[in-house]
Amino acid sequence: MAGIYQISIKGRTIRFKQEEHKGFRMDCLNLVGKFITEKEINFRTCKNALVGMWENPEGVFISEVSKNKILISFKNQRKGLQILKNGSWSFRGQLLNLKVWTQNMAIEEVEHNFIEFWVQIHGLPLEFINKETAKKIGDMMGNVKKVEDPMKDNILVKNFLRVRVALNVTEALPTGFWLERDNLPNCWIFFKEDTGSKSEERMDQEVEEEARKFHEEGRRVVGQQESVDNEKEDSLMEKHKQLGKEIGGILRSKVQED
């Protein structure tokens, strides 16, 4: 039973003022991973496998959230971003969808319906090996995040297209399409997940860009929170002042009556 000075929390709407933990907010990274399968994954086994795949990095803690969902906390934000950008990752053939757990969001609210892939597009005739075609095909597949130009200094350096796209994992993943041609049979254009390793320089550039965006978002969220809290504090002080005036007026009236 609640004490006489206690207030019941049941049914109340409560707001907490965000505390300052700059080191944690700016230097660490938390990823929520979900295995895209109905089959239950053994947590301990997959934890050991992931740590091994990631070459036993220091400052990493993996905990179980619920069935087929895990939390991966990185003390070193850069290492976490490298792992995120190096995906996709899988365990025993089951895809692991990693998403950043951002501020103001409960872990249950982190969405895993979409996953980003680098996709190679093969089989296109020469005249379609360009960045514009890659963007058009990517838009038909899902949400395009980045398109790679197959040309460098006006010279063709790849015989296929490459696009990073967010695909809906609740739907069947596309494998390709038939391309209609004039006076020639239709040809099959097929997709391949890009599993090729990235150069260290390219990876560093992508990680630095992600880190910059991550820091900016963190500052933006904290700034918004502080602005709201300041407005609420100002409003509360104004209400207290007004209440003080009203109480003072009541007391003065009471004294005059007496």
Residue 200 pLDDT greater than 60, yes or no:
no
Matching CATH topology for 23-112 and 115-193?
A: yes
**Between these two residues, 252 and 187, which has the higher pLDDT value?**
187
What pLDDT sits at residue 153?
A: 93
- The mean pLDDT value for 16-30 works out to 63
Residue range 223-245: mean pLDDT, rounded: 58
Which amino acid belongs to residue 73? S
Q: What are phi and psi of 211, to 5 degrees?
A: -65, -40
User: What is the architecture, at CATH level 2, of domain 115-193?
Assistant: 2-Layer Sandwich (3.30)
Answer whether 0.75 is exceeded by the pTM: no
Whole-Å CA distances, 217 to 104, 115, 210, 212 = 12, 21, 10, 9
DSSP secondary-structure letter at 198?
P
In this predicted structure, the answer to whether residue 145 has a pLDDT above a threshold of 60 is yes
Give 166's contacts (C-beta < 8 A, 6+ positions apart).
114, 115, 116, 142, 143, 145
Quote the Cα angle for 181-129-199, to 5°.
Answer: 150
pLDDT at 95 exceeding the cut of 80 = yes
Which residue type is seen at 243? L
Q: For the chain, what are the domain ranges?
A: 23-112, 115-193
Task: Say which CATH class 23-112 falls into.
Answer: alpha beta
